[in-house]
Chain A
């Protein structure tokens, strides 16, 4: 959600039950403003919160002028608490909550590497997950497998999870961005919101990422598209089908999309107005049981 309309957006997204406490809201407003200034972003989005066992991560993203360019991700740890009885010596100190750290961009190897890590996030970016792998080592002519303990840092896992969530379920309504013939993608200032009938259809929402499926469309389908508005993949054909729950809340004045694949992602839009946004508040784990649950 846009940092500029943070308060309203949080209010509209509160239907999923998770939000921010007043002190966090206040600190976010100021710190995001400073982030925008320091990093010279065009827009700063508050991406959401990943709940860890000890502490939570607050994630923000900065966008440059071209909306679809790779986004820079920043994170900030919420205050944790002492691990207490379990490990009295390991005090997880509280960081100054106004400081944001930049995360490295996600790479393919990171995603592959962290796909073996399961379970909740700890909340400590320097925490290391240990994973034993069988690696084939070859010495001379012998090829044998050896158990190698691979250490994966939680920060890497955080990066890849955020990237996966973005690629999978970041949503934007149709018409909010438009593409100019020169290439860059701009925010559409004349976007007045979707109408009520459009807002209930999944085809009016797009994935907020580089299009993947567009090329596979038939020519007939492409003829109906408007190249300046329809340049991203719609949610309609997501697999598995039914992985989006679309609801009207507040007596039909707000449409809320919730992802069932990454539970915790909520997208809201007030039809006929400019308000829209998405936020992720969850544990950062994919819901692999989705096919059983539908």
Chain B
């Protein structure tokens, strides 16, 4: 912080001139500065022991004192009182402050004798510093140094700011204080006493000391004193040097306080808040590790390069980014790594990133997957067994019920209601269950397989509209009740979205050459397609212009909930016998009409309009450079479904909440009407309950009868007795 200042020449100045010329300055950290009224005696610059450095700066004393309306008037004596304590800290190296511009008639402080401290501050020095707006902290200057000449200013302008905390001061350099004769001209300091007596502290000093003591006090609730806090605050400001600090003073104040009470933790201790984040990062780190099966690095590389089921997600992400859709590139890469992990874990033939469905607490990343040929889905079998077991229980209950019924005298008529026939779900690898879907919440988390979807679930899913929470086992509470939990609902929505919005340029897919299947399948159309090797690609402008250049390559879902129609009545006969009555009832049911939907590979121009508006919007990704842009098609029916095509490449993606767009409000179906009661017939006749009077009358009659019977018995007994007696 510079060299100790050389001996300044003493510079006597009139206090008045100093006072008048003093410019309001920033408060120094020396808040214990006495607020001396200028009209009074010489203001003292109290001595801040810890901050005492090589005493380069000059404390802003008077100006601050002028501004400072609070605080007791300090007298010189306070200074005196304070100093002994501080001196004790510093080994007595420090020196009390200078008297600032005291009138010449004042005696300098007796403590000055210790180091021969100069009594009179160098007013002009301060003035010049102030005027220069140095804003450096003023420190206790050894009062020995009066500085008149500007050269010295540089040293005094030292910015002590780096560490203004409670440093134990470095013992000051070779201040030539000890020899007062060198410093002061006798004319000024003749009055300076070098006696060893300790004079009485003047009122001003006492005031200063009181003020400082007041500022240093801490309350029971808080160990931070105002003094310390203000020191911290000013240190912070000087360290960081923000622009226009006055405007953010309150915020800085708050921040400084907060920092005091929330110190940075030890490097050895873990931050409890960040644990979860670190955990997630660890998990994601696992994604990036190469699987180290075997030590043959090169061979693995070759194998991997040859063929992998994982698609080129980054390329897809790039094209979608041109369209303004999609997740950020690092997220896409993580998804890519997660898919790679999935491919390694499961026997997967083809794999595609289907999209992202947003949920309330968590979101779902969905992968569309096709297992290799012949891979049995073990889970499916388990599920089927459970279902069959469930069905087996029902007739059992019915039998028991029948037995009970026979015991009861009243024959309760059986309900007429029969559950509607269950439409069987589609086989794996066909129709809605053509692909398997895996979901995970975040890349790095394990992938969970979604169960196959049943037609009933699709039908019910069409009737409800619910947000996904993010937890697969969450129940769906809705009316009409959804048969399943969130995993089933998610699967149903995925099926609907896939069927409605998976499109490809015309000609990319073609039907296989086999014909003659139409009749057998009952007019439901072909359900298989293959890639067209001769596909040339459609120019982007044409793709954008006409919707006829795009086709659906997934089957439309019929109102039944399946892609191929199945007559549920036929199945009924094969199910467990329900009895003759029920068969008759079935015949009364309406015959189901075969449902027909648009065949595979229908162009989009055939799609039904929503409110006179096309359900698709096509756009060029960038009209500034049409030669390199891609064609982007956005679905208006399922907001969030996008498809792009460029040259021979195309892809579909869905990122959204998973709901269909409807211009009307959602109207949940009303509850079913109340069922009719049984018509009164001789078997079943409804009678009103007996009223209280009737019951009492009955009871009275019964009692009478009972009493009469008892009397008769008694009479008989008496007769018998009499007979016996006789």
Q: Which of B130-138, B616-624, B703-711 is the interface stretch?
A: B616-624
A188-217 contacts to B (CB < 8 Å): 188-192, 195-197
CB pair B255 A292 closer than 8 Å:
no
- Report the 3 A-B pairs with minimum CB-CB distance, sorted nearest first: A17-B655, A251-B280, A252-B277
Q: How far is the CA of A24 from the CA of B629 in the complex (A)?
A: 13
A183 interface residue (CB < 8 Å to B): no
Q: Contact between A79 and B639 (Cβ–Cβ < 8 Å)? A: no
- In Å, the complex CA distance between A84 and B466 comes to 36
Whether B358 lies near A16 (C-beta < 8 A) is yes
Contact A186 B247 (CB under 8 A): yes
Chain A hits for B611, CB < 8 A: 119
Residues of chain A lying within 8 A (CB to CB) of residue B465:
289, 292-293
| Cβ contact of A190, chosen from B252, B280, B326, B363, cutoff 8 A | B252
User: Which of the residues A85, A189, A292 comes within 8 Å of B248, measured between beta carbons?
Assistant: A189
* A253 at the B interface (CB under 8 A): yes
Asked whether, in the complex, the Cβ of B613 is within 8 Å of the Cβ of A120, the reply is yes
A190 and B281 within 8 A (CB): no
Q: Which residue, A53, A197, A246, has most C-beta atoms of chain B within 10 A?
A: A53
**8 Å CB contact of A197 from B273, B283, B613, B624:** B273
B657 surroundings in chain A (CB, below 8 A): 263
Q: Which residues of B contact A180 (CB under 8 A)?
A: 247
- For chain A, residues 249 to 294, give those with C-beta under 8 angstroms from any C-beta of chain B: 249-253, 258, 260, 263, 282-283, 288-289, 292-294
Report which of B634, B655, B666 forms a contact with A289, defined as CB distance below 8 A: B666
A246–B356 alpha-carbon span in the complex (Å): 17
A-B contact pairs, 5 of them (CB 8 A): A14-B326, A18-B324, A21-B324, A119-B663, A189-B242
Query: Is A94 engaged at the interface, CB distance under 8 Å to the other chain?
Result: yes
**Nearest residue in A to B664 (C-beta to C-beta)?**
A118
Within 8 A of B (CB), among A6-49: 11-12, 14-24
- Given A11, A186, A242, A247, which contacts B363 in the complex, CB threshold below 8 Å? A247
User: Does A53 lie within 8 Å of B613, measured CB to CB?
Assistant: yes
Of B251, B442, B611, B655, most buried by chain A (CB within 10 Å of CB) is B251
**Residue B505 at the A interface, CB < 8 A?**
no
Say whether B520 faces chain A, with CB atoms less than 8 Å apart.
Answer: no
Contact partner of B639 (CB less than 8 A), chosen from A22, A24, A192, A283, is A283
Residues from 249 to 296 in B contacting A, C-beta threshold 8 Å = 250-252, 254-255, 273-274, 276-277, 280-281, 283-284
Asked if B67 lies at the interface with its beta carbon under 8 angstroms from chain A, I say: no
Instruction: Give min CB distance, B549 to chain A, whole Å.
Output: 12
B250, A178: Cβ atoms closer than 8 Å? yes
Question: If A19-B325, A53-B636 touch, does A253 touch B251 (CB 8 Å cutoff)?
Answer: no
Question: Contact mask B676-709 → A, CB, 8 Å, 1/0?
Answer: 0000000000000000000000000000000000
Which residues of chain A from 104 to 122 have any CB-CB distance to chain B below 8 Å in the complex? 118-120
Q: Which of A14, A245, A293 contacts B361 (CB 8 A)?
A: A245
Residues in A neighbouring B250, C-beta threshold 8 A: 178, 228
On whether the beta carbons of A17 and B251 are closer than 8 Å, the reply is: no
Q: How large is the interface on B (under 10, 10 to 19, 20 to 34, 35 or more residues)?
A: 35 or more
A222 at interface, CB cutoff 8 A: no
Instruction: Given the known inter-chain contacts A15-B327, A247-B363, A289-B665, please indicate yes or no for A81 contacting B247, CB distance below 8 A.
Output: no
Q: Report the bound CA distance from A64 to B619 in whole Å.
A: 36
A293 partner, pick from B328, B466, B545, beta carbons under 8 A: B466
Q: Are B255 and A190 in contact (CB under 8 A)?
A: yes
Q: Does B546 contact A (CB under 8 A)?
A: yes
Asked whether B324 lies within 8 Å of A253 as measured between CB atoms, the reply is no
Kindly supply a per-residue 1/0 record for chain B positions 333-370, scoring 1 wherever the CB is within 8 Å of any chain A CB and 0 otherwise.
00000000000000000000000101111110000000
In the complex, residue of chain A having the shortest beta-carbon distance to the beta carbon of B634: A51
B6 at the A interface (CB under 8 A): no
User: A17 touching B656 by the CB < 8 A rule?
Assistant: yes
Given contacts A17-B326, A81-B620, A196-B274, contact A178 B545 (CB under 8 A): no
Among residues 141 to 200 in chain A, which have CB atoms less than 8 Å away from a CB atom of chain B?
178, 180, 186, 188-192, 195-197
Within the complex, which residue of A54, A79, A94, A250 is in contact with B331, where a contact is CB–CB below 8 Å? A250
Q: A251 — which chain B residues lie within 8 A by C-beta?
A: 277, 280-281, 283-284, 442, 444
In the complex the two chains form, what is the Cα distance from A292 to B274 in whole Å? 36
Known: A16-B655, A53-B613. A258 touches B321 (CB 8 A): no
Chain B residues with CB under 8 Å of A293's CB are 465-467, 659, 666
A21–B656 CB distance below 8 A: no
Give the docked Cα–Cα distance between A25 and B321 (Å). 11
A191 to B252, CA, bound (A): 10
On whether the beta carbons of A196 and B273 are closer than 8 Å, the reply is yes
Task: Please report the total number of A residues contacting B with Cβ < 8 Å.
Answer: 57
- Nearest-CB residue, chain B, relative to A229: B254
A239–B465 Cα distance when bound, in Å, is 19
A54 nearest in chain B by CB position: B617
Inter-chain contacts of A249 with B (CB < 8 A)? 363, 442
Q: Does B494 make an interface contact (CB < 8 A)?
A: no
Shortest distance from the beta carbon of A1 to any chain B beta carbon, whole Å: 14
- Return chain A residues, CB-CB under 8 Å to B656: 17
Are A14's CB and B617's CB within 8 A?
no
Contact yes or no, B324 A19, CB < 8 A: yes
- In the complex the two chains form, is A79's CB within 8 Å of B617's CB? no
Query: A-side binding surface: helix, strand, loop or mixed?
Result: loop
Residues from chain A with a CB closer than 8 A to the CB of B655 are 16-18
Query: A283 CA to B634 CA in the complex, in Å?
Result: 12
- Say yes or no for B123: interface residue by CB 8 A criterion: no
Query: Is the pair B358, A258 in contact by a Cβ cutoff of 8 Å?
Result: yes
Contact A294 B467 (CB under 8 A): yes
**Which residues of A are found within 8 Å of B359, using beta-carbon distances?**
245, 247
In the assembled complex, which residues on chain B have CB atoms less than 8 Å from the CB atom of A188? 248, 251
Q: In the assembly, what is the distance between CA of A190 and CA of B245, in Å?
A: 11
Closest Cβ of chain A to B622, distance in Å, is: 5
B323 within 8 A of partner (CB):
yes
Using A189-B248, A245-B358, A293-B659 as known contacts, list a sample of 12 further A-B pairs with CB atoms less than 8 Å apart, ordered by residue number in A: A14-B326, A17-B326, A17-B358, A21-B322, A22-B321, A53-B617, A81-B620, A196-B277, A249-B442, A251-B277, A260-B467, A294-B466
Q: Is A189 a contact of B613 with CB atoms below 8 Å?
A: no
Q: Determine which of B324, B328, B621 lies in contact with A11 in the assembled complex, contact meaning CB atoms within 8 Å.
A: B328
Complex-state Cα separation, A69 to B618, whole angstroms: 39
Asked if residues A79 and B252 are in contact (CB atoms below 8 Å), the reply is: no
Q: How far is the CA of A263 from the CA of B357 in the complex (A)?
A: 13
A74 to B123, CA, bound (A): 59
From known contacts A119-B663, A245-B360, A250-B331, infer whether A81 and B442 are also in contact, taking CB-CB under 8 Å.
Answer: no
Measured between beta carbons, the chain B residues less than 8 angstroms from A294 are: 466-467
B544 interface residue per 8 A CB criterion: yes
CB distance from B47 to the nearest CB of A (A): 33
| B561 partner residues in chain A, CB cutoff 8 A | none
A258-B545 Cα distance, complex, nearest whole Å: 34
Asked if B640 and A17 sit within 8 Å, CB to CB, the answer is yes
Q: Which residues of A lie under 8 Å from residue B252 when comparing CB positions?
A: 190
Q: Is the CB of B324 within 8 A of A195?
A: no
- State the CA gap A82–B545 with chains docked (Å): 8
Q: Give which listed residue, A84, A258, A292, contacts B546 with CB less than 8 A.
A: A84
Instruction: Tell whether, in the assembled complex, residue B622 and residue A23 are in contact, meaning their CB atoms are under 8 Å apart.
Output: yes
Q: Check A84 against B362 for contact (C-beta < 8 Å).
A: no
Q: Are B321 and A195 in contact (CB under 8 A)?
A: no
Question: B180 to nearest A CB, angstroms?
Answer: 49
What residues on A are CB-neighbors of B327 within 8 Å? Answer: 14-15, 17
Instruction: Flag whether B668 is at the interface (Cβ < 8 A).
Output: yes
A85: chain B residues within 8 A (beta carbon): 546
User: Known: A118-B663, A178-B251. Contact between A81 and B618, CB under 8 A?
Assistant: yes
Which of B325, B545, B613, B618 is in CB contact (< 8 Å) with A18?
B325
Cα of A263 to Cα of B359 in the assembled complex, Å: 12
> Shortest distance in angstroms between A135's beta carbon and chain B's nearest beta carbon?
25
Does A252 contact B280, Cβ atoms closer than 8 Å?
A: yes
CB distance from A118 to the nearest CB of B (A): 6
Output the nearest chain B residue to A82 by Cβ-Cβ distance.
Answer: B545
Chain A residues near B544: list those with CB within 8 A. Answer: 81
From residue 446 to 473 of chain B, which have CB atoms closer than 8 A to chain A? 465-467, 470
Closest chain A residue, CB of each to CB of B322: A21
Residue of A nearest to B361 (CB): A247
